Structure 1
Amino acid sequence: MSRGRWSLRLLTGCLALSLGSGYVASAAPAPSGQPATARPAGAAEPFCYSEPSNPQADVSDLRAAFNASNWMRTLQAMYQRRWPSGEKLAIAQAKDKYWDQFVNKRSFEGFAESMMVAIHEETHMWDLDPSRTKWDVSIAAWINGSQQATQVPVHGGFPRKEILPLIKDRLTASMDNTYLRDATQGTYRLQGVLAEQNAGLTGLPAVTVVHEYIKGVGASNARDIAATNLRYLLLYLRVAKTKHPEYWARIKAEPKLRELVLTQFLRTAYWLEKSAPYTGVVGGPDADKITATNYAPENIAILEEFTGRTVRKDAQKHCTAD
């Protein structure tokens, strides 16, 4: 799909790391409410992904005052207290004319539930802005409020539908049908894999931090989406190595891309852990099953070979081991 047609597709479906300066997440998790620190990419010490959040912050006043005309002020204030990255993304995208199509303004509960889709789609809008992304050449990714990836080379790639033979279960069947088997979506290359992975991952904290206000099912697959898109990324790397060795060598030689992949892996682990207590509201039981497959030896091996880093498989999955 062309750049121009991608934005149109976003409106009809649900679709933070400054890699430009070569930085990754902090050597230790930052306390809630504190900004994460950065370390040079060349440093060898272990590090962990973290970002500020405070799901217990009181927003009862915002709920009481919520109405259809103050939803953007409410959104920014809500995330200022609970997830500052969400506030900063909302500020960055405040003038986007498509917000209205993603936000439920009928009640505060509906509003909170709609944030999975709204933040997901506005992440797409930021990432895929033509000023930041050159289709199938280089990409951008909003990671968190203080870290965004820019000008990350992707060098085209191969259709993402080529990963289908590696999926042996039905845990991700509904998403497989949409993103891999669809006649158009299945042809998207590495740019499509990374764009969907980033937007899905940003949608997860958007609802995790307001979980107690979600009364419907509109955010009930947020954890599943994050786990599935990480699956797609890992499988894409495996197919690249085995079926497209020249392409594999080319992307493996890109430091920004290697760091983005590592950060997204650790970031997924971080938010899956943070959201785990709210399974049933922001995810189903299959999310943890998908995650278990992502930690299969062959998937961890390709991640570690591509990034050159060893990741932890214990309770600190959002950290590297070296």
Structure 2
Amino acid sequence: MKRTGRLTLLTASVALALVPGPLAAAAPVPSSPVVRAPVCYDEPSTPGADISDLKSRFTRSNWMPTLQEMYKRRWPSGQKLAIAQANDKYWEQFVQTGSFEAFAESMMVAIHEETHMWDLDASRTQWDDHTAAWINASRQDTNVPLHGGFARKEILPLITDKYSDSMDGIYLRDSQQGAYKLQGVLAEQNAGLTGLPAVTVVQEYIKGIGASNARDIAATNLRYLLLYLRVAKDKHPDYWAQIKNEPKLRELALTQFLRTAYWLEKSAPYADKLGSPDADRITASNYSAANIAIIEEFTGAKVNRDTNKNCTAA
């Protein structure tokens, strides 16, 4: 693919990466729908953990054990993905080994692409029928129904700015990529949402531009999902009815919305090296009334617009 806690949606059940949030649930009202407790997306990371010894010992030949140990200390989800994909023959196409700094910077691409490799493995994904998504060390979604869909290029008329123009050219205006359906939207979103933390937790070693659009990728792929849902409802009502009746798909969409907010906030202090100003502009558009309405209608959850954006609201 080109690049540039589980929540049960109809109950208050929370597990894995989605954990109880800081907001209190409202008391149930007799004869009213059950009020769900707020949930938040979170996952372990320790970006301040010392890895100076790994840097000092780094060589071209020990990059895989270095990668695994680096993420063991700073981002266990990255370690577990690296272990799961350790035998993939394509790693070396993505990993730069000329220096530790180049290595750290290349993790955005390497982890992004290895997420694709895991998600799209034929044992887990049948294109346009069902998909899989590596979310984090505790959660991997499988057998998420897709029911086909429509070409993602149909969302283009809803993009009236140039903030995501470079990615739009690749994923929406390209004749092949633009024809991809919901499968393509979700695959790119999930890869972008592993590529961003991969470099956020090693940001002090990033000296070049190899990860300079990590935040833009995350924000843009959420844009694509929200707009895809809007077009589904407005232009493809039969398809909208199908996907709205799939709890696993609705759950995944909500998780990715909250997860994007989580990692955009975590990476915000390093925005100058991990993104452009357009990342925040795209994010602002993602919280427009129309986009919030569609994610809330699709998932059945209320989301926060100001603070605690990685959490649902009571």
Does TM-score exceed 0.5, indicating one fold?
yes
Q: Decide whether the 8 Å contact of 1:17 with 1:144 is kept in 2.
A: no
For structure 2, which runs of at least 5 residues remain unmatched after alignment?
Answer: 23-33
Three-state SS of the structure 1 residue aligned to 2:313 is coil
Specify the alignment match of 1:52 in structure 2. Answer: 44
Three-state SS of the structure 2 residue aligned to 1:280 is helix
CA displacement, residues 184-240 of structure 1 (integer Å, 9 cap, x when unaligned):
000000000000000011100000000000000000000000000000000000000
Specify the alignment match of 1:175 in structure 2. Answer: 167
Q: Decide whether the 8 Å contact of 2:105 with 2:205 is kept in 1.
A: yes
Specify the alignment match of 1:62 in structure 2. Answer: 54
Name the CA shift for 1:22/1:189 in 2 (closer, same or farther; >3 Å).
farther
- Once the 2 structures are TM-superposed, how far is the Cα of residue 265 of structure 1 from its aligned partner? 0.1
- Once the 2 structures are TM-superposed, how far is the Cα of residue 22 of structure 1 from its aligned partner? 8.8
Three-state SS of the structure 2 residue aligned to 1:201 is helix
- Once the 2 structures are TM-superposed, how far is the Cα of residue 315 of structure 1 from its aligned partner? 1.7
CA distance in 2, matches of 1:17, 1:258: 11
Specify the alignment match of 1:26 in structure 2. Answer: 19
Asked if 1:195 is matched to 2:176, the reply is no
- Once the 2 structures are TM-superposed, how far is the Cα of residue 275 of structure 1 from its aligned partner? 0.1
User: Which of 147, 153, 166 is the equivalent residue of 1:161?
Assistant: 153
- List aligned pairs for 1:81-120, cutoff 5 A: 81-120=73-112
Specify the alignment match of 1:274 in structure 2. Answer: 266
Identical residues among aligned pairs (%): 71
Name the CA shift for 1:117/1:16 in 2 (closer, same or farther; >3 Å).
farther
Specify the alignment match of 1:34 in structure 2. Answer: none
For 1:137, give the aligned amino acid: D
Specify the alignment match of 2:214 in structure 1. Answer: 222
For 1:27, give the aligned amino acid: P
Q: Decide whether the 8 Å contact of 1:112 with 1:214 is kept in 2.
A: yes
Specify the alignment match of 1:129 in structure 2. Answer: 121
CA distance in 2, matches of 1:28, 1:298: 25
- Once the 2 structures are TM-superposed, how far is the Cα of residue 14 of structure 1 from its aligned partner? 3.0
Name the CA shift for 1:192/1:133 in 2 (closer, same or farther; >3 Å).
same
For 2:145, give the aligned amino acid: P
Alignment: residue pair count: 298
Three-state SS of the structure 2 residue aligned to 1:48 is strand
Superposed CA RMSD: 1.7
- Once the 2 structures are TM-superposed, how far is the Cα of residue 28 of structure 1 from its aligned partner? 3.1
CA displacement, residues 45-81 of structure 1 (integer Å, 9 cap, x when unaligned):
1110000001100000000000000000000000000
- Once the 2 structures are TM-superposed, how far is the Cα of residue 17 of structure 1 from its aligned partner? 5.0
Specify the alignment match of 1:32 in structure 2. Answer: none
- Once the 2 structures are TM-superposed, how far is the Cα of residue 15 of structure 1 from its aligned partner? 6.9
Three-state SS of the structure 2 residue aligned to 1:281 is helix
For 1:91, give the aligned amino acid: I
- Once the 2 structures are TM-superposed, how far is the Cα of residue 27 of structure 1 from its aligned partner? 0.9
Three-state SS of the structure 1 residue aligned to 2:209 is coil
Specify the alignment match of 1:204 in structure 2. Answer: 196
- List aligned pairs for 1:306-317, cutoff 5 A: 306-317=298-309
For structure 1, which runs of at least 5 residues remain unmatched after alignment?
Answer: 1-9, 30-41
CA distance in 2, matches of 1:314, 1:281: 24
Q: Decide whether the 8 Å contact of 1:219 with 1:282 is kept in 2.
A: yes
Q: Decide whether the 8 Å contact of 2:7 with 2:14 is kept in 1.
A: yes
Length-normalised TM-score, structure 2: 0.92
Q: Decide whether the 8 Å contact of 1:113 with 1:218 is kept in 2.
A: yes
Length-normalised TM-score, structure 1: 0.90
Three-state SS of the structure 1 residue aligned to 2:272 is coil
Specify the alignment match of 1:75 in structure 2. Answer: 67
For 1:26, give the aligned amino acid: V
- Once the 2 structures are TM-superposed, how far is the Cα of residue 16 of structure 1 from its aligned partner? 7.0
User: Which of 198, 209, 232 is the equivalent residue of 2:224?
Assistant: 232
Name the CA shift for 1:72/1:319 in 2 (closer, same or farther; >3 Å).
same
Asked if 1:14 is matched to 2:11, the reply is no
Q: Where in structure 1 do 4 or more consecutive aligned residues deviate above 4 Å?
A: 15-19, 21-24
For 1:214, give the aligned amino acid: I
Asked if 1:151 is matched to 2:140, the reply is no
Name the CA shift for 1:302/1:18 in 2 (closer, same or farther; >3 Å).
closer
- Once the 2 structures are TM-superposed, how far is the Cα of residue 134 of structure 1 from its aligned partner? 1.1
Name the CA shift for 1:15/1:93 in 2 (closer, same or farther; >3 Å).
farther
Name the CA shift for 1:174/1:16 in 2 (closer, same or farther; >3 Å).
farther
Q: Decide whether the 8 Å contact of 1:18 with 1:149 is kept in 2.
A: no
